């Protein structure tokens, strides 16, 4: 199965992806982690990525799509199923994801949307910033990232709803409870 874990910054995508990987053994692709890996390695791509990430902006679609294609090709185990975490973030990326999967004779099965109130998102991100060392976990950049999410990424919710692929999950409460709702959504489409 190919699963997208969708939601605003701070909605718990990384945490819940890790639980899904543990249980189902799918391949995890966090585009944010891929980019931070490039930054840490000091590559040219990392330098470009950093100039966007530290300002809370999205990496341009063309570049991001190319990076994802490369990651999928470099990891043949992704053919068994992927949890996409942080991708797609624009309609253009969503269309590209369909194409990337189609050329591998696959399709996107479900988009799990973690729905969390904005106040809670900000509190979580500020808290994460105390230990994450991330250049974008500060109040100024958090606000920009939430704007970007609301304007560019949130329209994907309707996009996937129209396709009947969107499963809304209330993303507040304990990690275990949230995970059990995600699991139920995934199991329901497996039948
Ligand atoms: P994340 O770790 O998913 O919160 O992503 C951190 C930052 O990486 C984002 O604020 C963007 O600057 C960049 N990024 C991650 N994924 C994408 C994507 N799919 N498209 C564009 N930019 C991305």
Report the C-alpha gap between 1 and 4 in whole angstroms.
10
* 115 CA → ligand 1 middle, Å: 18
Rounded to the nearest whole angstrom, what is the distance from the C-alpha of residue 25 to the centroid of ligand 1? 23
Over residues 9-38, mean pLDDT: 97
Q: Distance between the two ends of the chain, CA-based, in angstroms?
A: 12
Q: How far from 167 is each of 5, 18, 111, 150, 170, CA to CA, in Å?
A: 10, 18, 6, 18, 10
Spans of all domains in the chain: 2-190
Neighbours of 33 (CB within 10 A): 14
Which residue has the CA at smallest separation from atom 15 of ligand 1? Answer: 32
> Can you give the pLDDT at residue 103?
96
Reply yes or no on whether the pLDDT at 85 is more than 70.
yes
At 191 the pLDDT is 65
Overall average pLDDT of the 1-22 stretch: 98
Write down the pLDDT at residue 190. 82
What is the 3-state composition of the chain as percent helix, strand, coil, each rounded to the nearest 5? 60, 15, 25
Is it the case that residue 78 has pLDDT exceeding 70? Answer: yes
Q: Which protein residues touch ligand 1 with a CB less than 6 Å away? A: 9, 31-32, 35, 52-53, 56-59, 64, 86-87, 89, 93, 136, 145
Q: Which of 32, 50, 63, 151 to mutate to test the pocket of ligand 1 (most atoms within 8 A of CB)?
A: 32
Q: Give 141-178 pLDDT, tens digit per residue.
A: 999 999 999 999 999 999 999 999 999 999 999 999 99
Could you tell me which CATH number the domain at 2-190 has?
3.40.50.300
Radius of gyration of the chain (CA): 16
């Amino acid at each position: 199965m190919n699963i997208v874990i969708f939601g605003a910054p701070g909605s718990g995508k990384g945490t819940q992806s890790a639980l899904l990987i543990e249980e189902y053994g799918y391949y995890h692709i966090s585009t944010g982690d891929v980019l931070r890996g490039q930054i840490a390695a000091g590559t040219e791509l990392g330098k470009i990525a950093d100039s966007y990430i530290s300002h809370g902006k999205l990496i341009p679609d063309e570049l991001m799509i190319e990076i994802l294609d490369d990651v999928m090709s470099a990891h043949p185990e992704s053919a068994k199923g992927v949890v996409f975490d942080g991708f797609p973030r624009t309609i253009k990326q969503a269309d590209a994801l369909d194409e990337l999967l189609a050329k591998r004779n696959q399709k996107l099965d479900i988009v799990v949307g973690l729905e969390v109130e904005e106040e809670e998102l900000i509190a979580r991100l500020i808290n994460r910033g105390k230990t994450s060392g991330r250049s974008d976990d500060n109040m100024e950049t958090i606000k920009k990232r939430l704007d970007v999410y609301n304007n560019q990424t949130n329209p994907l919710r309707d996009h996937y709803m129209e396709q009947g692929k969107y499963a809304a999950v209330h993303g507040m409460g304990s990690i275990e409870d949230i995970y059990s709702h995600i699991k139920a959504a995934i199991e329901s489409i497996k039948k």
